[in-house]
Amino acid sequence: MAISTFKTLFSLLGGDNNFDLDDFPLNYLRIDSRMVNNNDVFVAIQGSVFDGRDFISQAISAGAAVILTETNKKTNDLKIKYIKQQAKLVPQISVLQLSKRLSIIANDYYQSPSKKLSVIGVTGTNGKTTVTQLIAQCATLLNEKSALMGTIGNGLYNHLEPSLNTTASPIDIQTLLAEFVKQQVKVVAMEISSHGLVMNRVKGLSCAATVFTNLSRDHLDYHKTMSKYAKAKWSLFSPEAKEKQVVYSGKSIINYDDNYGKRWIEKLNQPTAVSCQPKSLRQLKALNIPYVGVSMIEYHDKGAKIYMESSWGNAIINSRLLGEFNVSNLLLSLATLLTLDFPFFAVTNMASFLKPICGRMEVFNVKNSPTAIVDYAHTPDALQKALQASRIHCKGNLWVIFGCGGDRDKGKRPLMGEVAEKFADRIVLTNDNPRTEDEMKIIADIEQGLLNSDKVQVITNRVEAITQTFAQAELNDVILIAGKGHEDYQIVGNTKYHYSDQETVKQLLGVENQL
């Protein structure tokens, strides 16, 4: 069944509805020519790597019925020319500032699918994947059909397709949301990156709730300053952003333990404040806004026992997630569902059944072997928190294996080294995704943050680094393998190779699944 028609498309682009045009049915908007099928609309814009205009012929051969291209000249806006190919004429429409308007156009084309769903937008430096996964997992346990969009993948919960970016293209976002509406999904938990906000990928999106996890140094190769990075994140919540159609955010759930979050709470109308610090409970109660806090947390080898207090009631939660930061992630997830009127006792009862997330403090251990923990930590703050969480479970030496991504923020590299030296007993520096940078230059940048080279080894091959560390570690040691988490690839030069920390660890331990 067709989604729209040519005349309708022309009209939502700003064209005259009375303009003399032949009408015909249209299906999906596509930004990737390889995804085009019969009667689809191919959006040919210039990306960071490829120029969509180079694939117009390929798209037409695949069945594209209309081509949209970008123009920066007002005089060329909505001009139509016809491309003759395969004995058919395909209209090509020039659209003024198409790339900036893409999200709004796609939203209108699919008839505002986000308004028909409970979309939960989650942003922050760390924790986005865990929070979205926990929200979708809990909602699913409560018999609400749920979907995810983010780093690990996009699709129905437990049926994810791999994603290229944390926040997908505007076309893909709206197409997925339209599919979720057709599949009768109720809850969509979506990671929203600072890049996605600045690049207008979510412009016009309607969120039932928006969640802020935390803000620490990352992506300064792109944003340049922490001020600009914070401004990008704030745009998901600010009342001014709503007026500019950046995003229509509903209720806000904010991490009170973060300095930015604490300031933002003062600017928002009735946000839900969340803290995992018992010392903050009295302050939360004094804010006169909805809150979720804790009176006590008991950490143990299998997770944590959380004594939660909130505007909705009190509960004891036995969490299976490791570390203080995961208590924060869990409480943010529960607070979001409570803010959206999910029943208190159902939410808190299900919390104890929530499972750890792939590549997020994922524990692997077998008898007579050191324990390995695989985590995605790739910022100084995330690495510190992962090491602190790992220390709770370590009776011997705490090892950390990590590197830094090439062609990315170089300023955080010595900070990562400094954190590793402060919180780990032994350090093994290796490759992450070196991309087009010299691997030894990346490691030298990390070493600038180290004072004592005696506790450091450099083993650039990641498999070798993990293998040799296991050979050296004692039975009571813990090995934190940081940086790649769920990723099943490594980028060297411009080539992406299959690689997985989990697979490497399982092979060394001789197990099929984590224990």
State the pLDDT at residue 21: 82
Strand partners, 307: 296, 316
Instruction: Annotate 293-323 with DSSP letters as a single string.
Output: EEEEEEEETTEEEEEEEESS-EEEEEE---S
HSE-up (13 A, CA, CB side) for residue 347: 25
Determine which of 330-339, 404-413, 505-514 has the lowest per-residue pLDDT on average. Answer: 505-514
Per-residue pLDDT, 451: 93
The span from the CA of 467 to the CA of 508, in Å, is 7
- Which helix (H) or strand (E) segment holds residue 333: the answer is helix 324-339
Percent above pLDDT 70 for the chain: 94
pLDDT band for 232, please (50, 70, 90 cuts).
confident
Please tell me the predicted confidence (pLDDT) of residue 300: 84
Listed residue (372, 402, 356, 393) closest to 508, CA to CA = 372
The 10s digit of each residue's pLDDT in 417-463 is 999 999 999 999 999 999 999 999 999 999 999 998 899 999 999 99
Fold assignment, 4-96: 3.40.1390
Q: What is the mean pLDDT of residues 90-104?
A: 94
**For the segment 311-355, what is each residue's pLDDT rounded down to a tens digit?**
999 999 999 998 888 999 999 999 999 999 999 999 999 999 999
Share above pLDDT 90 across residues of the chain, in percent, rounded to a whole number: 75
Q: What is the 3-state secondary structure (H, E, C) of 177-195?
A: HHHHHHCCCCEEEEECCHH
Confidence class for position 88, pLDDT limits 50, 70, 90: confident
Q: What angle do CA 370, 379, 146 make, to 5 degrees?
A: 85
pLDDT band at 381 (very low <50, low <70, confident <90, very high): confident
State the pLDDT confidence band at 513, using cuts at 50, 70 and 90.
Answer: very low
Region 404-423: mean pLDDT is 95
- Say if residues 181 and 117 touch (Cβ distance below 8 Å): yes
Q: Residue range 465-478: average pLDDT?
A: 96
Three-state DSSP class for residue 111:
coil
Q: In the chain, what are the domain boundaries? A: 4-96, 106-351, 362-509
Query: Which has the closest alpha carbon to 430: 367, 480, 359, 368?
Result: 480
Looking at CATH, the fold of the domain delimited by 362-509 is given as Protein-Tyrosine Phosphatase; Chain A (3.90.190)
From the list 144, 149, 209, the residue with the least C-alpha distance to 174 is 149
**Domain 106-351 indexed as CATH 3.40.1190.10:** yes
pLDDT mean across residues, the chain: 91
- Residue written as token pair 């570690």: 473
Instruction: Summarize pLDDT for 240-298 with one digit per residue, the tens.
Output: 655 555 567 689 999 999 999 999 999 999 999 999 999 999 999 999 999 999 999 99
**What pLDDT is stored for residue 117 in this prediction?**
96
pLDDT greater than 90 at residue 365: no
More confident residue, 512 or 70: 70
Residue type, 464: E
Choose the weakest-confidence range: 101-105, 114-118, 297-301, 304-308: 297-301
CB burial readout 35-63, b (16+ within 10 A) else e: bbeebbbbbbbeeeeeebeebbeebbebe
Closest CA to 27 of 5, 45, 50: 5
User: What pLDDT is attached to residue 515?
Assistant: 37
Q: How far apart are CA 394 and CA 322, in angstroms?
A: 12
Predicted confidence (pLDDT) per residue in 169-209, tens digit: 899 999 999 999 999 999 999 999 888 887 888 888 999 99
